[in-house]
Chains A and B, each alone.
Chain A
């Protein structure tokens, strides 16, 4: 390392340089979780309300859908209005198929010859995304990294160039519901299978990393301790995604971790838009508060920017809880 002459002149007190009044840069990770991911919309609203623009966004599955819309420069309000409209009116066939309280979907599956296809995710996206969403990564206002899973490679793929819609389609290609998407000869499926909350790929990209977790937990149905067979099947991949997120949080934590309380909603509950928005309200408040705190800390000129990544401790409750290995009979 080169030391410039005069820089460390002994005896001379180092002149205090006023830091430029810049705001910290923010990297935003939006996780996967099906319909629960509608809760990403209010989180994006927080950014608009505070006049903050993420420096980079990473998205998995539904997180990629809203990440793509927001990175295209659409306001969160517009995204909300479009999504609500799409889910309530124009979306009828798909909505019925998706929200058909599980069992009918399974029946539908059974009637089909067991080929790969059920829905083409690209076709669905044309329907769901506003027309003003960029066609290509190059047109985006905010750099976006989309997570998909390489089926045969058994690992995550980070998509950041080429056709945006194809990338989003790959990221949300949940097996059994959607056909896999082939990009550059690789067969890609839902990014949630390998990286349900992609904050780790944003490390060192910005001063502050914000992760929005919508992975949720299966909910106890009343008195019956036995969930239905289909519920267990659906929930098992949810449990694994949750386990992966927990494991990742043990290795590294984002600066701000928002665990949206959307456990009560199923992966396919797209018809419960208003309920999910209401359930996400406390998380929205939390993100607002935490981002404001970061911003106020950051404007103090005594704080060198190098210390920023840990200026705000992530709410470690969930992390601490999982470190304890519960044993039967202890309680």
Chain B
């Protein structure tokens, strides 16, 4: 008991980090991870949903925020390079990735094995920071916390956005994007640390000029974002994280991956905000 207390005092307060889903907007997580690097603070546990799971897992695997910035910027520098890189890696041809008959066109396990760095092709157990990925069980309509087994299929499940990528079957469960049950998964790590930091990258609907009604597809994605917000709002009523950061990336679309530079630039003020709030909390807790 005494030993444990002494140990935790030596290590300082434990910080849990929860990174939310938001597709391309989730690239902003990279800036938040840089904030941790720059402060020399290491989260004791990370939970991630969808794009938050990918960034969180990369960080837990040992990549630094700066390394992730570099890799994402290179990968999404331009469409031609991205497609070339994907095509170069597809040994079985494009049909391994796409199939019109399958639900969701892209097989995300194959996609992630191609795109994610070697260091992430491992088991949860091999990660340097305990990490949890959130997925949704499609039929049970409930949250599934993935924390063991191979990492890549778990990340694929956590970010299996319906109609874009296929659901992932793991342990007999049909899993889809964790955002549908837990867009900002701070609640699963609240009791595992002294301080919980949550990063919410949910988008906001864009207004069309002249007060025109949104186009059908805009209204569909816009309403999904409303559902994400409503879910997070209800969660905040039950329990709130100590630090909640909303990087100003709401205006970017879910598929704006090629705007990586602009997204990271937009996240800069939030990064400074996070650094300041974290330092304050750490100073208070000693």
Please report A residues at the B interface, Cβ cutoff 8 Å: 109, 112, 114-116, 118, 149, 151-152, 154-156, 175-176, 179-180, 187, 189-190, 193-195, 217-220, 225-233, 235-244, 247-248, 250-251, 321-322, 325-329
Contact = CB atoms under 8 A, between A and B. Distances in A.
A175 to B, nearest CB: 4
B217 interface: yes
B142 interface: yes
| B interface bracket (residues with beta carbon within 8 Å of A) | 35 or more
Nearest to B223: A175
Given A227-B167, A326-B143, A248 B223 contact: no
A243 B170 CA distance: 21
A116 B215 contact: yes
Contacts of A109: 216
Contact of A325 (B140, B141, B145): B145
A281 to B, nearest CB: 23
A326 B213 contact: no
B162 A194 contact: no
A118 B104 CA distance: 24
Nearest to B137: A326
Interface string B130-169: 0000001111111111111100000000000011001101
Given A154-B205, A226-B174, A248-B234, A176 B219 contact: yes
A154 B173 contact: no
B205 A241 contact: no
B40 interface: no
Contact of A175 (B144, B145, B222, B228): B222
A232 B175 CA distance: 11
Q: Looking at A156, A228, A327, which has the most chain B CB atoms within 10 Å of its CB?
A: A327
Interface of B: 102-105, 136-149, 162-163, 166-167, 169-174, 176-177, 180-182, 188, 204-205, 207, 213-217, 219-220, 222-231, 233-235, 237-238
Given A115-B215, A116-B214, A325-B188, 20 more contacts: A116-B216, A151-B223, A154-B229, A156-B230, A175-B220, A175-B223, A187-B213, A187-B214, A219-B139, A225-B167, A226-B102, A226-B103, A227-B103, A239-B176, A240-B224, A243-B143, A244-B231, A244-B234, A248-B234, A251-B238
Given A151-B222, A154-B225, A227 B230 contact: no
Closest 10 CB pairs of A and B: A247-B234, A232-B162, A175-B219, A229-B103, A116-B213, A240-B227, A175-B223, A194-B230, A193-B226, A239-B180
Contact of B180 (A112, A228, A236, A251): A236
A226 B103 CA distance: 7
A239 to B, nearest CB: 5
Given A114-B216, A116-B219, A239 B102 contact: no
A189 to B, nearest CB: 6
Nearest to B103: A229
A254 B235 CA distance: 18
Nearest to B175: A328
Nearest to B228: A240
Contacts of A329: 148-149, 171
B136 A239 contact: yes
Nearest to B208: A116
Contacts of B230: 155-156, 193-195, 244
A109 B102 CA distance: 21
B49 to A, nearest CB: 12
A220 B174 CA distance: 10
Nearest to B138: A218
A233 B223 contact: no
B213 A217 contact: no
B205 A152 contact: yes
B183 to A, nearest CB: 9
B226 A151 contact: yes
A104 to B, nearest CB: 16
Contact of B219 (A151, A237, A238): A151
A236 B162 contact: yes
A236 B149 CA distance: 26
Nearest to B225: A154
Contact of A328 (B149, B213, B215): B149
A229 B137 CA distance: 16
A251 to B, nearest CB: 5
